[in-house]
């Protein structure tokens, strides 16, 4: 796989990275349902065998569990991938998640992530959410201190607006932004992606397949049968009417376009995000071996301008 330089860093990343949100397992506020750790480990190792060279996780995924699973998967791996994680979300003994960007909290979270990941340095450390907004400058300054001390190699942000990035950039360069971006979530095109392009900030997009909805594997029946602790069931409007019908029709169109090239709907959805010149790479989650292999074609294949227009025409006619 070709690699691309991530912003102002010395890291050259593959166009697709492994997303470790779902492997955090069940039993927390944004879980994807129960998950078998052995399957997660096998899936991560398959990702590395396929040539993927970075893993994106976060402390809050599974309330620390995702980071622990990533560490287990990388035991004995000689050609280690880059490991990215995040701070700014904390939880108590009851699993209640809080938003915190105070300096002392950022430092404690970093130390905890280093232990769970079993590493001496984190390749990319990202502020997960700009919340509370009034503390983003304090949080970012502490992240810069962690970088100066060698606990992290590069510093990034996630879910920030262009205005918020401009506020913190005064205290140290931003290597990357991680925003949501997909065919059905395009808000970042207006000001956020142009800001990243203008300021040499790498962009690694999450949910390019809209949390699994654009894979081609989701049907009304499968959505209805999602486990009760799958966050998409209650917290994702795209999985409910009036948007669901539009989204499933979009998947049908992606299937038709993909069929012309021997690609799956999910590959079309990922390739669509990678077509944007500001996008460095896309995070693709997987929960069992075989899933990533079916999506890897998106890393290098590109839609034609006519196919991009075809999708745009559909979206304009079916604006939700």
Q: Supply the DSSP symbol for 80.
A: P
Indicate which residue of 61, 181, 206, 239 is catalytic.
61
Non-local (6+) Cβ contacts of 166 within 8 A are: 195
Residue for token digits 């699993």?
Answer: 95
Which of these, 294, 282, 303, lies nearest to 13 by C-alpha position? 282
- Angle made by CA atoms 279, 281, 283, in degrees to the nearest 5: 125
What is the distance, to the nearest Å, from the Cα of residue 191 to the centroid of all Cα atoms in its chain?
A: 20
* Token reading at 150: 């060698």
**Three-class SS state of 216:** coil
Q: Is 239 a catalytic residue?
A: no
DSSP state of 159: S
Contact 115, 45 (CB under 8 A): no
Q: CA 178, 213, 260: angle at the middle one, nearest 5? A: 100
Active site residue ranges? 61
């Amino acid at each position: 796989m070709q690699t691309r330089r991530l912003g102002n860093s010395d890291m050259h990343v593959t166009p697709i990275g492994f997303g470790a949100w779902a492997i955090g397992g069940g039993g927390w506020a944004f879980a994807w349902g129960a998950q078998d750790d052995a399957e997660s480990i096998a899936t991560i190792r398959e990702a590395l065998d396929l040539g993927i060279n970075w893993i994106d996780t976060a402390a809050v995924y599974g309330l620390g569990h995702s980071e622990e699973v990533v560490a287990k998967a990388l035991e004995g791996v000689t050609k280690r991938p880059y490991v990215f994680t995040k701070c700014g979300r904390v939880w108590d003994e009851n699993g209640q998640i809080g938003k915190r960007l105070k300096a002392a909290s950022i430092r404690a979270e970093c130390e905890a992530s280093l232990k769970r990941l079993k590493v001496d340095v984190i390749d990319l450390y990202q502020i997960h959410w700009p919340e509370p907004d009034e503390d983003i400058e304090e949080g970012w300054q502490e992240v810069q201190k962690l970088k100066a001390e060698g606990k992290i190699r590069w510093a990034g942000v996630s879910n920030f607006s262009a205005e918020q990035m401009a506020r913190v950039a005064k205290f140290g360069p931003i290597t990357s932004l991680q925003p949501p971006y997909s065919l059905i979530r395009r808000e970042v095109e207006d000001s956020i992606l142009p800001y990243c392009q203008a300021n040499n900030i790498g962009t690694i997009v999450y949910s390019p397949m809209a949390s699994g909805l654009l894979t081609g594997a989701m049907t009304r029946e499968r959505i209805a049968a999602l486990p009760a602790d799958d966050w998409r069931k209650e917290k994702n409007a795209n999985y409910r009417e009036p948007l669901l019908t539009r989204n499933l029709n979009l998947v049908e169109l992606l299937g038709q376009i993909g069929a012309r090239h021997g690609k799956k709907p999910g590959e079309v959805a990922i390739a669509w995000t990678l077509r944007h010149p500001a996008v460095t790479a896309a995070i693709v989650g997987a929960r069992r071996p075989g899933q990533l292999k079916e999506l890897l074609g998106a890393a290098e294949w590109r839609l034609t301008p006519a196919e991009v227009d075809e999708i745009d025409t559909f979206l304009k006619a079916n604006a939700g």
